Amino acid sequence: MSIIFIAVNLAFALIISPLIDGFERKIRARLQNRQGPSILQTWWDLIKLFKRPTIEPQDSVKPLYKLAPYITFTSILTAYLIIPTLLPASTNFIGDLIVVVYLLGLATLCFVIGAFSSGNAYAQIGSNRDVSLFMSEELLLAFIVGTIAVIGKSLSLDRLFPLPFRISSVLALLLLFLVIYVASTRLPFDIAEAEPEIIEGPLIEYSGKHLGLLKYSIFLKRLLLYSLLLDFIIPIQNPIRLICYLIGTIILSVIYSTFEAYYGRFRIDQAIEILKRASIVALIVWMIAIVGW
Amino acid sequence: MEAQMLLIPIGVLIIAALVGLSKAKVALKIVSILSAVASAVIIYNGVLGLKTTIELKYNLFNSPSFFASLNYLVFRVDALSAFFLLILGILSLCTSVYGIEYMERYFEREDMRVYTFNYPLFILTMYLVVICWNLLWFIIFWELMTLFSQFLVAFEQRKEKAVRAAFKYFCMTKAGAEFIVLALILIILKATNFNANYSEIANVLPAYLSVHSTILYTLTFSLLVGLGVKASMVPLHSWLPDAHPEAPSNVSALLSGIMIKLPIYMMFRFFLSFFPLKPEIGIIIAIFGVLTLFFSMMYALLQEDSKRLLAFSSIDNIGYILLPMGAGIYFLASGNQLFGGIALAAALFHTMSHAFFKGLLFLTAGSVMYETGTRDLNYLGSLAKKMPLTASTALIGSLAIAGVPPLNGFVSKWMIYISTLSSPATSLFGIIAIFISAVTLGTFVKYFTAIFTKPPVKEIDAKEVPLLMSAPQLLLALLCIAFGIYPFIPLKMISQALGSIGIPLASLVVYPSLVVPRTGSYSPIIIFAFLLVSTLIVLLLIPSRGEVVPTWKTGRSEDLNISMPADAYYRDFREVFREVYTLGDASKRFVQKVAEIGRILGTKFEVFSYDLDSMLSIAMVLIVILVAVLGGVGL
């Protein structure tokens, strides 16, 4: 039973995540007084990329450069085994919150190693920024994970979904909302891929199928993080969970894309500074959780 | 018969050391092979020790004398020592084989006898520290271990840096050993009635110490300082980043992989089987663990020397061992058997994983030095194409140390988080450990990419290292993967080891997952299988065969004039977190000031010492104070 549920969840994620990006593009376009492409446009882009041939730069370390996009993609897919999306699969035996955090870390690691192996200087600058951002983002995330563990007295996901309603849990989820925004590489936090200055950074040499896979994994990662946040809120046994989940996803993508449409890009040090300040807030939230509020 | 097996490595290693006294070129090969043979026997003894307890007893003096406790030389291997013997054996097997080719580069420059004589003796003393069952003999072997390893650090005698590092190492660990001696004398005089046998102490001491709590805290303090110096616990770590890089790489692998774990082994003996379990002692150890891992990793991020970076990361990993050990003592003392067992198992698991991946990383750094002659991360680059095997093993080591699933580094980190995060007293420790784990990832992305992928400053001439050097690396890399995907074998050994000091490890293993009831779960097999299968499917569905084109230079014909040297990595991150470094530098200045004051006092004292009477009176006052300290703590 649960294996079928996992399969359904995986299929859902693979099909829907590009559509969500299409939807967000539409919203951004409307907010900026543009017509915008159709919702399916992201899917057409991906299909086009998958049909294109790939190239390999001369200076690259070929095995690493070629394999990295695949493992980035599949490590995010692996996280979908653990986090329930469309259907509430009981997948407790595969992993817990820590495993999810580290699988996302594995994806980041493969992504930057691939970029570093391309031999392009811009890719190095970009992935260097990516790792800097990842480290400071992880400080905030560590506090959130700690707070959630203290609130739920567990790290196992079926005990944490949903979190009990307390001041600390609301604050922790607000901070999680911020981390998700940073982790999903959007304006103003897409510093690693900044197009105007370092020409897409880590993605600079990637083309065709590789580029498609990397883009696809970013979409998958966004939907995964949405689901994580929603699972903390929506009761898992609720009969109308499915509807709540779908509505929640739409609401989140509207909010996130609105932010994205209105902001310019941060400098890398500004972004790290913001994350550091947020971590101090998270320390206070952790203390509130320890007190038991 | 089985007990006699314990003697074989001793004999073989002594023969090796004697052969090492010869100047002949072939001595290096013979010494390395003999050490490798001895290591294989050590592994065998470890496996044997996990099955049954091996004991060997010698009555040396045959007369009741003042040295009554030295009378009996007892070797005994229980499951805990067997676990450390296994690590020692596997690692020294790899480094001995590696040394055959690696050390040849030094023939023209150095006196090889320094290496060939001290190397087997260093392994021998480590072996004796693990198997001996008497505190007085332990301290003798312990000091010998420091001595022989010091000569190995100062192997390149013409380099002033190496000699200074060895001297610093010797002074600090010697001073630390005095604290251990003090603790031992206290134990033997006060509590056990001149008996230094471990089993005897474990019987008598806990009851005695739970009544005399002052002595307990004195002992805890001096043992934490004494063993902490050797384990390079912050703030007593400063010898390690100097000493470990200076030794030949295979010796660095031994120093980082197993020697700094022997204090951990003794801490397990002292704090868990000799001392009554007190929550506050556990918390203190855990706090030192957190300080250790935090500061050392933040400083590792700055390093531009490959082996110095690895040395800082060794200190960090000692933090990752001390933290769960302290947390485990805390949990056991406050009655939480489940978390206590898991935290202690995490400490032992990390001891083993760190020995493998740090040994591996030091060997890869050594291979790079062997080919290029440098450790400078700014200069190195683009070696992955020239040394593919070394590059792939270094990548596996980096992934393992960064703790990404499904490699072995993740298993121990997962156990640390599971046990610490959800309890209020230890939650913050776990949080900092997660953050530092991300910094570790950043550091090792730097290590790997700076050596193997970034374009070099100028073209470097290198080729793959010979088979005798790459085989040990491959073996260690294989162990990192195997114990990551299938952690049940080491966990079984660990549960035996913990069982031998009386700590039950609650049923953690529910095949094919690791499950902690109501708290967490991790299934390395399923995750690995899914990663593998889905990657293969995606590779089949979307195969990529591309043509090779020149790297894109924004349309210009000449080279882009930008490059990223190692010192430019994560500059923004370091800027924003500069408070950490300000704090670290301030404490460094403080220590330097203390050293300065000590020097001034020393000079004054020297002037003073021409006057015999005042010298004698000062000595007497000092002796009185010492006696008061030794005799008075019980009051």
How high is the ipTM of this complex? 0.92
User: How far apart are the C-alpha atoms of B591 and A139, rounded to whole Å?
Assistant: 29
Average pLDDT, chain A: 84
State the pLDDT at residue A196: 60
Write down the pLDDT at residue B629: 60
Residue type, B488: F
pLDDT band for B633, please (50, 70, 90 cuts): very low
Distance CA A272, CA A132 (A): 8
CA distance A163 to A173: 9
DSSP string, A156-203: -HHHHSSPP--HHHHHHHHHHHHHHHHHTT-TTS-GGG-HHHHTTGGG
Nearest to B333 by CA among B269, B287, B277: B277
Q: How confident is the model at residue B635 (pLDDT cuts 50, 70, 90)?
A: very low
Q: How far is A277 from chain B (nearest CA, A)?
A: 10
Pick the more confident residue, B34 or B592: B34
**Under 8 Å between Cβ of B192 and B159:** no
What are the residues whose beta carbons fall under 8 Å from the beta carbon of B25, sequence distance 6 or more? B107
Assigned token pair, B269: 């003996």
Determine whether the interchain pair B438/A139 forms a contact, defined as Cβ–Cβ distance below 8 Å.
yes
Structural contact between residues B467 and B392, judged by C-beta atoms closer than 8 angstroms = no
- Among A2, A62, A96, the strongest candidate for a mutation testing the B interface, having the largest count of B CBs within 10 A, is A96
Res. A199 pLDDT band, cuts 50 70 90: low
Q: For chain A, how big is the Rg over CA atoms in Å?
A: 19
Residues A204 and A57 sit within 8 Å (Cβ to Cβ): no
B575 touches chain A (CB under 8 A): yes
> Residue B514's closest CA among A249, A137, A155, A199?
A155
| CA proximity to A268, closest of A215, A204, A197, A176 | A197
- Measure B445 CA to nearest chain A CA, in Å: 7
Which residue of chain A is at minimal alpha-carbon distance from B578? A273
- What's the per-residue H, E or C state across A7-69? HHHHHHHHHHHHHHHHHHHHHHHHHCCCCCCCCCHHHHHHHHHHHCCCEEECCCCHHHHHHHH
Chain A contact present for B458, CB below 8 A: no
Helix (H) or strand (E) holding B74: strand B72-77
DSSP H helices, B232-379, are 240-246, 249-257, 262-267, 279-300, 306-333, 337-372
Spatial CB neighbours of B365, under 8 Å, sequence gap ≥ 6: B249, B252, B306, B307, B310, B375
Percent of chain B residues past pLDDT 90, beyond the cut: 24
Contact B513/A at CB under 8 A: yes
Number of helices (H), then strands (E), belonging to chain B: the values are: 24, 6
CA distance B17 to B203: 38
Assess whether pLDDT exceeds 80 at residue B199: yes
Residue to mutate among A56, A58, A102, with most B CBs inside 10 A, is A102
Helix (H, G, I), strand (E, B) or coil at B546: coil
Question: Choosing among A54, A92, A94, which should be mutated to test the B contact, i.e. which has the most B CBs within 10 A?
Answer: A94
Q: Do B453 and A70 touch (CB under 8 A)?
A: no
User: A212 near A220, Cβ under 8 Å?
Assistant: no
Adjacent-strand bridge partners of B522:
A95, B514
- The CA distance from A237 to the nearest CA of chain B, in Å, is 18
Rounded to a whole number of angstroms, the distance from the CA of B449 to the nearest CA of chain A is 7
pLDDT above 70 covers a percentage of chain B that reads 92
CA distances from B7 to A254, B1, B13, B132, B205 (A): 73, 11, 10, 12, 30
Q: How many residues does chain A have?
A: 293
Q: Residue B327 has what pLDDT?
A: 92
A249-253 long-range CB contacts below 8 Å, 24 or more apart? A249/A20, A249/A223, A250/A23, A252/A226, A253/A20, A253/A23, A253/A24, A253/A27, A253/A226
The 3-state DSSP class for residue A86 equals coil
Q: What is the rounded CA–CA span in Å between residue B573 and residue B577?
A: 6
Given a cut of 80, is residue B160 above it in pLDDT? yes
Query: pLDDT-derived band of residue B615, with 50, 70 and 90 as boundaries?
Result: low
Cis peptide before B235 (omega within 30 of 0): yes
* pLDDT tens digits, A168-188: 888 888 899 988 888 887 767
Q: Which helix (H) or strand (E) holds B481?
A: helix B467-485
Nearest CA in chain B to A212: B542
Give the residue-averaged pLDDT of B397-411. Answer: 89
Please give the radius of gyration of chain B, using alpha carbons only, rounded to the nearest integer: 25
What average pLDDT does range B484-505 have in this prediction?
86
Residue positions counted in chain B: 635
Residues of A in contact with B431 (CB under 8 A): 142-143, 145-146, 286
The rounded mean pLDDT for chain B is: 85
Q: Say which amino acid occupies B271.
A: F
Q: If DSSP codes are grouped into helix, strand and coil, which group holds residue B579?
A: helix
B351-366: b (≥16 Cβ within 10 Å) or e: bbbbbbbbbbbbbbbb
A102/B403 touch (CB, cutoff 8 Å), yes or no: yes
Count the Cβ atoms, other than its own, within 10 Å of residue A193. Answer: 19
**Residue A281 with chain B: CB contacts under 8 Å:** none
For the purposes of burial, counting CB atoms within 10 Å of the CB of B607, is it exposed (0-12), middle (13-18) or buried (19 or more)? Answer: exposed
How far, CA to CA in Å, does B344 sit from each of A64, A188, B288, B331, B448? 37, 43, 16, 10, 31
pLDDT score for B1: 64
Nearest to B404 among A109, A124, A150 (CB): A109
Q: CB of A172 within 8 A of CB of A151?
A: yes
Looking up tokens 């206070």 gives A284
Residue B351 pLDDT > 90:
yes
A36 or A102: which carries more pLDDT confidence?
A102
Sign of torsion over alpha carbons B510, B514, B516, B519? negative
* pLDDT (mean) for B228-242: 85
- Distance CA(B419)–CA(B427), nearest Å, equals 9
pLDDT tens digits, B24-37? 888 889 999 999 99
pLDDT at residue B66 in the model: 53
- Return all residues near A136 (Cβ < 8 A) that are at least 6 apart: A271, A272, A275, A276, A279, B573, B576, B577
Burial of residue B545 (CB within 10 Å: 0-12, 13-18, 19+) is exposed
Q: Between B329 and B212, name the one with better pLDDT.
A: B329
CA nearest B536 in A: which residue?
A70
**Which range has the worst mean pLDDT, B154-163, B504-513, B530-539?**
B504-513
Q: Which is more confidently placed, B213 or A265?
A: B213
SS3 readout for A206-256: CCHHHHHHHHHHHHHHHHHHHHHHHHHHCCCCCCCHHHHHHHHHHHHHHHH
Distance (Å) from the C-alpha of residue A55 to the closest C-alpha of chain B?
5
Give yes or no for residue A23 having a pLDDT over 50.
yes
The pLDDT score that the predictor gives to residue B560 is 63
Nearest CB neighbour to B453, from listed A66, A101, A117 = A117
B67-81, B83-97, B251-265, B467-481: least confidently modelled range: B67-81
Q: Write out the two tokens for B482.
A: 């195997």
Contact A75 B531 (CB under 8 A): yes
Report the DSSP pairing between strands A55-57 and B547-549: parallel
Instruction: Report the gap between the CA of B413 and the closest CA in chain A (Å).
Output: 10
Q: For residues B633 and B215, is the Cβ–Cβ distance under 8 A?
A: yes
Tell me the C-alpha distance between B449 and B455, whole Å. Answer: 9
CA-wise closest residue to B528 among B490, B492, B484, B489: B484
Q: Which range, B182-186, B417-421, B518-522, has the best average confidence (pLDDT)?
A: B417-421
If phi over 0 gives left and psi between -120 and 50 gives alpha, with beta otherwise, what is residue A130? alpha
Per-residue model confidence (pLDDT) at position B322: 92
- Residue B497 pLDDT more than 50? yes
Residue B183, pLDDT above cutoff 90 = no
Mean pLDDT of B299-307: 87
Distance, CA of B607 to CA of B50 (rounded, Å): 58
Q: B377-393 b/e with 16+ CB inside 10 Å = b?
A: bbbbbbbbbbbebbbbb
The answer to whether B527 contacts A78, with C-beta atoms less than 8 Å apart, is: yes
pTM assigned to the model:
0.91
Residues 414-433 of B with CB under 8 A from A: 414, 417-418, 421-422, 424, 427-428, 430-432
Q: Considering only CA atoms, which of A183, A59, A164 is closest in space to residue A122?
A: A59
Q: Kindly report, residue by residue over A116-171, the tens digit of the pLDDT.
A: 888 777 888 888 888 888 888 899 999 999 999 888 888 888 787 788 888 888 88
Task: Give SS3 for B516.
Answer: strand
Residue B318: per-residue pLDDT: 92
